[in-house]
């Protein structure tokens, strides 16, 4: 694996992204638009919930608006990251294959894409988390941002896997939107989770650890190591599966 | 330079290539003709490694250039960026002047040097096709595998292409080209015709 090839791949991937108006618009507009809607429609009514990832299970009491902002921040970070990852995998996949036929290694190509993806995920996480103090004062801002970054990472790995397995964009988008909608956009809301049956299903979904991490960071002073490690492990498992599928798809058949 | 022996390929029950055997020596331009759907593109795709053959053996120069029938270049990158990306794939150093001069010369020959800083998605179909072809040449390969490379070319560029192909031949390089036009047969040293997956000397 050559570093120079990865660097050139990163430069070209970044240029492709920066020249895509849709991607830039999604990354910049969607988080602030969603926050604005939640900020305007949420109320100051206090709601009480417990977080499954805190063993002591304390009752957390915060305003409905604050809880909704953290919840939607996780969902937006995950959705944007997975959509971006899907695009990086699916779009120009045959051109990337030509690069492989010309001598690029699949590992160099995926490495360069992953590096750019991580930069975008961290940027989006900081952007989304950085807007929280406009609406309320989080208990700890860094773990809350970490929750958004982790949501981006786990869902990006899911997007990479979907992109490596499916060739058509519409199918890929459906797979991403449907899961993100039910998981990050609904089931992981602690208010819903508290009264849900068969909670093991919710805990097995990609946004569980990131959303728990975001909530713990924003509303408590409890430790965040466990959800961070578990979330990273979840994401890395998806990433390994995505890499395996990508190598099979890109291999030179001689 | 290139040896293909008993190659077979099918898509499901549809047998596309049947026991295809042929070879190309140094300094030869070899054409493959055939009707639409006769398996010409599949044959080239199997040779370059885009598809796996069901049976058979392929031996060729490791330093080959491949121009596919469809446009396989990055639309949102400029001409210059595409060339740099593919040069990196070929292992050509960024600061190496030799390939940069070769690329510049190819751009001038095919009259696209004025477009180097323009994103490909702003270029005409013919210019995109020229870039699709130039990408296959920049590392000075010994063997060129070209799948209808001049579709969309104007007449002058078409003639330029053949002039360049003959120059390569005189340098001892080989060209395998999927050709359609009757006119092309005069440019070729040998011609094969593919009919329902069976290759015959034309």
pLDDT per position as a tens digit, A69-87: 999 999 999 999 999 999 9
Contact assessment for residue B99 and residue B92, using Cβ atoms and an 8 Å cutoff: yes
Percent of chain B with pLDDT over 90: 77
A20 contacts B89? CB cut-off 8 A:
no
Chain B partners within 8 Å of A21 (Cβ): none
The pLDDT value recorded for residue A64 is: 95
> How does pLDDT run across B133-162, given as a tens digit for each residue?
999 999 999 999 999 898 888 899 999 999
The pLDDT of A10-24, averaged and rounded, is 93
The pLDDT value recorded for residue A212 is: 96
The yes-or-no verdict on residue A254 having pLDDT over 80 is no
**Chain centroid to CA B131: how far?**
12
Chain B partners within 8 Å of A100 (Cβ): 89
Contact assessment for residue B193 and residue B15, using Cβ atoms and an 8 Å cutoff: no
Chain A partners within 8 Å of B76 (Cβ): 15-16, 19-20
A4 contacts B88? CB cut-off 8 A:
yes
DSSP of A42-94:
----EEEEE-TTSTT-PEEEEEHHHHHHHHHHHHHHHHHHHHHHHHHHHTTHH
Percent of chain B with pLDDT over 70: 98
Query: How many angstroms separate the CA atoms of A157 and A238, rounded?
Result: 6
Query: How many angstroms separate the CA atoms of A137 and A66, rounded?
Result: 9
Would you say the C-alpha torsion B159, B42, B145, B74 has a positive or negative sign?
positive
The yes-or-no verdict on residue A97 having pLDDT over 90 is yes
Query: How many angstroms separate the CA atoms of A81 and A120, rounded?
Result: 8
Q: What is the band of B37 on the pLDDT scale with cuts at 50, 70, 90?
A: confident
DSSP state of B78: B
Query: How many angstroms separate the CA atoms of A82 and A86, rounded?
Result: 6
Assess B141–A contact: CB distance below 8 Å, yes or no: no
Contact residues for B97 (Cβ-Cβ < 8 A; gap 6+): none
Assess B81–A contact: CB distance below 8 Å, yes or no: yes
CB burial of residue A22 (10 Å; 0-12, 13-18, 19+): exposed
B86 contacts A15? CB cut-off 8 A:
no
The pLDDT value recorded for residue B181 is: 64
Q: The tokens of B30 are what?
A: 């070899």
Tell me the three state secondary structure of residue B193. strand
Contact assessment for residue A172 and residue A79, using Cβ atoms and an 8 Å cutoff: no
The pLDDT value recorded for residue A113 is: 96
Interface test with A, best of B89, B94, B132 (most A CBs within 10 A): B89
The pLDDT value recorded for residue B151 is: 81
The pLDDT value recorded for residue B183 is: 67
Q: At what angle do helices A93-102 and B79-89 cross, to 10 degrees?
A: 50
ipTM: 0.93
The pLDDT of A183-204, averaged and rounded, is 92
Contact assessment for residue B140 and residue B102, using Cβ atoms and an 8 Å cutoff: yes
The yes-or-no verdict on residue A30 having pLDDT over 90 is yes
Among residues B52, B56, B30, B58, which one has the least CA distance to residue B178? B30
E strand or H helix that includes residue B176: strand B174-178
Contact residues for B77 (Cβ-Cβ < 8 A; gap 6+): A12, A15, A16, B85, B119, B120
> How does pLDDT run across A118-144, given as a tens digit for each residue?
999 999 999 999 999 999 999 999 999
The pLDDT value recorded for residue B88 is: 96
User: Residue B48: closest CA among chain A residues belongs to which residue?
Assistant: A101
The pLDDT value recorded for residue B62 is: 67
Q: The tokens of B127 are what?
A: 């210019």
Chain B partners within 8 Å of A15 (Cβ): 76-77, 81
Chain A partners within 8 Å of B94 (Cβ): 4, 8
The pLDDT of A47-76, averaged and rounded, is 93
B21: left (phi over 0), alpha (psi -120 to 50) or beta: beta
Q: The tokens of B16 are what?
A: 């596309």
B86 contacts A102? CB cut-off 8 A:
yes
Percent of chain A with pLDDT over 90: 89
Min distance B77 CA to chain A CA atoms (Å): 7
Q: What is the band of B182 on the pLDDT scale with cuts at 50, 70, 90?
A: low
Contact assessment for residue B63 and residue B74, using Cβ atoms and an 8 Å cutoff: no
Q: At what angle do helices A64-90 and A21-41 cross, to 10 degrees?
A: 170
Query: How many angstroms separate the CA atoms of B119 and B121, rounded?
Result: 6
Q: The tokens of A234 are what?
A: 């979840």
């Amino acid at each position: 694996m050559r570093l120079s090839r990865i660097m050139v791949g990163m430069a070209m991937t970044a240029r492709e992204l920066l020249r895509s108006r849709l991607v830039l618009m999604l990354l910049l507009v969607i988080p602030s638009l969603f926050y604005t809607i939640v900020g305007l429609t949420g109320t100051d009514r206090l709601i009480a919930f417990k977080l499954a990832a805190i063993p002591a299970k304390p009752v957390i009491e915060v305003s409905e608006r604050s809880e909704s902002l953290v919840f939607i921040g996780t969902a937006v970070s995950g959705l944007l990251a997975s959509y971006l990852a899907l695009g990086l995998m699916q779009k120009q996949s045959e051109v990337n294959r030509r690069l492989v036929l010309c001598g690029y290694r699949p590992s160099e190509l995926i490495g360069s894409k992953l590096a750019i993806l991580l930069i975008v995920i961290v940027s989006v996480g900081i952007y989304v988390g950085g807007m929280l103090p406009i609406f309320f004062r989080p208990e700890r801002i860094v773990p809350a941002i970490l929750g958004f970054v982790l949501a981006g990472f786990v869902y990006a790995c899911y997007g990479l896997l979907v992109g490596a397995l499916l060739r058509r964009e519409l199918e890929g988008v459906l797979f991403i939107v449907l899961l993100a909608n039910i998981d990050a956009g609904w089931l992981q809301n602690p208010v819903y989770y508290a009264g849900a049956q068969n909670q093991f299903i919710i805990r097995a979904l990609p946004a569980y650890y990131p959303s728990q991490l975001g909530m713990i960071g924003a509303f408590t002073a409890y430790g965040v190591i466990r959800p961070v490690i578990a979330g990273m492990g979840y994401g890395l498992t998806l990433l390994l599966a995505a890499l395996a599928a990508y190598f099979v798809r890109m291999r030179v058949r001689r | 330079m290139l040896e293909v022996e008993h190659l077979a390929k099918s898509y499901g029950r549809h047998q596309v290539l049947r026991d295809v055997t042929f070879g190309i020596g140094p300094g030869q331009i070899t054409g493959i003709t055939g009707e639409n759907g006769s398996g010409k593109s599949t044959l080239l795709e199997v040779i370059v490694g885009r598809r796996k053959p069901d049976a058979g053996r392929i031996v060729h120069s490791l330093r080959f250039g491949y121009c596919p029938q469809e446009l396989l270049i990055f639309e949102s990158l400029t001409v210059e960026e595409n060339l740099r990306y593919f040069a990196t794939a070929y292992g050509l150093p960024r600061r190496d002047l030799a390939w940069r001069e070769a690329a510049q010369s190819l751009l001038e020959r095919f009259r696209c040097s004025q477009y180097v800083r323009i994103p490909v998605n702003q270029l005409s179909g013919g210019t995109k096709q020229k870039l699709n072809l130039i990408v296959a040449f920049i590392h000075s390969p010994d063997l060129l595998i070209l799948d209808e490379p001049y579709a969309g070319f104007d007449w002058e560029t078409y003639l330029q292409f053949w002039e360049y192909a003959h120059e390569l031949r005189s340098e001892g390089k080989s060209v395998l080209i999927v050709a359609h036009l009757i006119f092309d047969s005069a440019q070729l040293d040998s011609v094969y015709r593919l009919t329902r997956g069976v290759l015959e000397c034309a």
